[in-house]
Structure 1
Amino acid sequence: MRRTRLFVPLPLERGQELALPEGPRRHLLQVLRARPGQALVLFNGEGGEFHGELVSASKREARVRLVDFDPVDRESPLDLALAQGVARGTHMDLALQKATELGVRRILPLVCRRSVLPPHQVEKKMAHWQGVIIAACEQSGRTRLPELAPPRPLDIHAEALAGAREIQALLLHPGEQPAAALLDTLDAKRPIQLLIGPEGGFDAAERERLRAAGARALGLGPRVLRTETAALAGITLLQHRLGDLG
């Protein structure tokens, strides 16, 4: 039987008995309807995971005993970051979810001309996106959370990219040269950053700004992909060729 996995941002050690924080406790008891004796897997993002069981549960507290530690490492050897143009609602959620499941190490939200992200919503969005990432790690078996950077304007990101020559930046846009033409030139030992626009893509000025910062453009076939589909397809292609997919 598959064990329920929970991210718990606390120091953990074998033999420990602990009370779950409110978020994991509510999810475990109210959503999953777990009962004492339920087998659990806990991880704190520092690597490896702890096997244990729910020993007591009430409206105010859920206590877990950690029985064993497994130093399993399911992280991709590829240092891959997704620089994703901020998209609306579920489009952004799906991009972050699939990027996490597929093993990216960093997620860099970009505020583009076609993005909609009022300043007063940034903190709320960051908390929501972090929740999406945590849930994807719990589901996929990852033991480390990808880093989620605060959203920043594309121009500022391009300036930083121009000064980071060790990064292999790839700009995904319809109609550009086929991906196969670039994949063979990439070094799997150096960081790779995949740049994907929001709904409607990067506009012409943004594409030129990113090219000037050193990004190389590539396409994924003759069809126009939604932003979340482009993220999924691009990451899968890179992980298959240079990472640990297949």
Structure 2
Amino acid sequence: MRNPRIYTDQPLAEGQVVELTDSAANHVGKVLRMKPEEPLILFNGHGSSWQGSIQSVSKKSVTVTLSALIEKTTESPLKVHLGQSLSRGERMDYAIQKATEMGVIEITPLFSERCEVKLNAERQEKRLRHWQQIAISACEQCGLNRIPVIHPPENVADWMQMQETDLKFVLHHRTEKKLEGFDRPESVSLLIGPEGGLTQEEIVAAETSGFNALALGPRVLRTETAPITAVSIMHYLWGDI
């Protein structure tokens, strides 16, 4: 029997009766077509999940009874903050979705010199809501109970200066330095450039700010592929893969 995971933005506790509304209720009732007494898992993004069963289904709401806290941790011990230069359309969506699946805990979209995406305040707010929903859906699918923080877009220079993680890396193809020789960190900042890459000035600024240059082999990776490759290797070396 299927046991889908559903996100709901409300406090959860064992024995509680929870009413799902809006998108969560629509997904359970209309998309999944679930019926009373069928099981499902609820989580609210704060680190835990609960086993539950459907009590009732109506056109606008779904009522769920929570039976037990699920004692399972899926978060990696390695805390990664991804600084991802903005790219167009589905490329940015893909990067956020896969970074979430890989366990990244923070994502900041960045404006860099060669970034072709321009967003005014209204469009930034709309895109931020869109990216947050992508991260929520990814967490539902991959078993994560803690949703990554997606920060509002900011300038790459400002983001670099604010990073205080144990290790910091800037990925680019003008170096041959590998991901080796570092002590095991608890936290990492990873800077990824746009489709056209970071400029030499931005790379120098990153290295001046304490970022280590990093290459992932002789091939040039796409902006949406690079963070997934880098984070996968980092989690293999220092995380839980």
Shift of 1:40: 0.4
Per the alignment, residue 187 of structure 1 pairs with 184
Tell me which residue corresponds to 2:148. Answer: 146
User: What is the CA–CA distance in structure 1 between the aligned matches of 2:40 and 2:87, rounded to whole Å?
Assistant: 34
Provide the C-alpha distance between the structure 2 equivalents of 1:168 and 1:75, rounded to a whole number of angstroms.
19
Superposition pairs for residues 204-219 of structure 1, below 5 Å?
204-219=200-215
**Who is 1:232 aligned against?**
228
**Count of paired positions:** 239
Distance 1:114 1:26 in 2: 40
What letter matches 2:34 in structure 1? A
Provide the rounded CA distance (Å) in 1 between the counterparts of 2:8 and 2:118. 29
Match of 1:124 in 2: 126
Q: CA shift at 1:33, angstroms?
A: 2.0
CA RMSD in angstroms comes to 1.4
The CA deviation at 1:37 is 2.3
Q: Is the 8 A contact 1:47 1:72 kept in 2?
A: no
Contact 2:6 2:140 in 1 (8 A): yes
Structure 1 CA distance, aligned partners of 2:183 and 2:18? 46
Is the deviation greater in 121-130 or in 201-210? 201-210
Q: Does 1:202 align with 2:198?
A: yes
- For structure 1, the residue ranges without an aligned partner over 5 or more in a row are none
Partner of 1:19: 19
Deviations 1:67-110 (A, max 9, x none): 11113211100121111111111111111111111111111111
TM-score (norm 2): 0.94
Identity of aligned residues (%): 38
Cα displacement (A) at 1:111: 1.1
Summarize the Cα distance change of 1:178–1:159 in structure 2 as closer, same or farther, 3 Å threshold.
closer
2:223 & 2:17 partners in 1: Cα distance? 43
The amino acid across from 1:201 in the alignment is G
Greater mean deviation of Cα atoms: 47-56 or 28-37: 28-37
Give the whole-Å Cα distance in 1 for the aligned partners of 2:24 and 2:114. 35
Q: CA deviation at 1:224?
A: 1.1
Q: Tell me the equivalent position of 1:105.
A: 105
Name the amino acid aligned to 2:175: E
State the distance in 2 between where 1:34 and 1:128 align.
26
Aligned to 1:242: 238
Structure 1 match to 2:40: 40
- Which letter maps to 2:118? L
Q: Residue 225 of structure 2: SS of its match in structure 1?
A: helix
- For 1:184 and 1:117, locate their aligned partners in 2 and report how far apart those are by CA, in whole Å: 39
**Residue equivalent to 1:71:** 71
Equivalents in 2 of 1:66, 1:144: separation in Å? 19
User: Which AA in structure 1 matches 2:37?
Assistant: G
- Once the two structures are overlaid, the 10-residue window that deviates more, 130-139 or 24-33, is 24-33
**What is the letter of the counterpart of residue 192 of structure 2?**
I
Q: In structure 2, how many angstroms separate the alpha carbons of the residues matched to 1:92 and 1:15? A: 39
Structure 2, unaligned runs of 5 or more: none
Give the conservation status (yes or no) of the 8 Å contact 2:166–2:185: no
Query: What residue is the counterpart of 2:162 in the other structure?
Result: 160
Question: Contact (CA 8 Å) 1:94, 1:228: kept in 2 or not?
Answer: yes
**Does the CA-based 8 Å contact 1:47-1:71 persist in structure 2?**
no
* Residue 159 (structure 1) shift: 2.7
Q: Is the 8 A contact 1:40 1:53 kept in 2?
A: yes
Q: Describe the shift of the 1:114–1:31 C-alpha distance in structure 2 as closer, same or farther (beyond 3 A).
A: farther
